[in-house]
Amino acid sequence: MFITGATSGIGAAVAARFARSGAELVLLGRDADKLQQIATSLGKNARVHTLVADLADPSSITSVVERTAEHVTSLEALVHAAGTFTPGSALDGSRAALDTMLQVNVHAPIALSRALLPYLEKTRGTIVYINSTGVQRPQGLTGQYIACKHALRALADSLREEVNSRGVRVTTVYPGRTATPMQEALHDAEERVYYPERLLQVEDVAELVECAVNLPKTAEVVDLFVRPMGYVKP
């Protein structure tokens, strides 16, 4: 399994969950120290390879693919958990922030999906995109970010039509507000108190990813929407 954004949040939780089941993992993150900490936390018996790369840098994709080929010959799943968020409205957000969000949240998933597809075809594997329920109900200060997430949704839906015939499944998971560093930043921008215990937990989302990946090959989950139970804005 190949997981982007593996140094924190949902990506780290997905790595922990699949490590417990004995999966071989390729973990990608931009912080070498955090990536090593995650790899160590998975236990000495975990089969883990780490790749340090910044997906905000387009040139990093080629290096990632080359180094992946050095580590694995088989890939059951590709989980796109990496993401970046800068608060900003659709009208007033900065161009630089939008360019970075487009690169990390859209361009990088496209490039990695294309590059790693041959591995997934061999195993009739699964591609999982972590999106956001914001595509259903956008809110203030997220205009540019949600525009990127709509693009990612379109990518997943189009790709599914192209690769199902090759035996590859495509699933999008849409978490609501989840207790992650990104969500904490959003609360700060909204000038609201952050109560992580009231939100979805990263382990909740990781469990959904596991369910989608481990389904019989005769079934495919297309969209999974999940939200915090009983969440009320403080």
Catalytic residue annotation: 145
Contact 227, 205 (CB under 8 A): no
DSSP lists the bridge partners of residue 52 as 29
d(CA 101, CA 145): 7
Q: How many C-beta atoms surround the C-beta of residue 206 within 10 A?
A: 23
d(CA 130, CA 10): 9
Would you give the DSSP letter of residue 135? G
DSSP lists the bridge partners of residue 51 as 28
Q: How many C-beta atoms surround the C-beta of residue 61 within 10 A?
A: 19
Q: Is 65 helix (H, G, I), strand (E, B) or coil?
A: helix
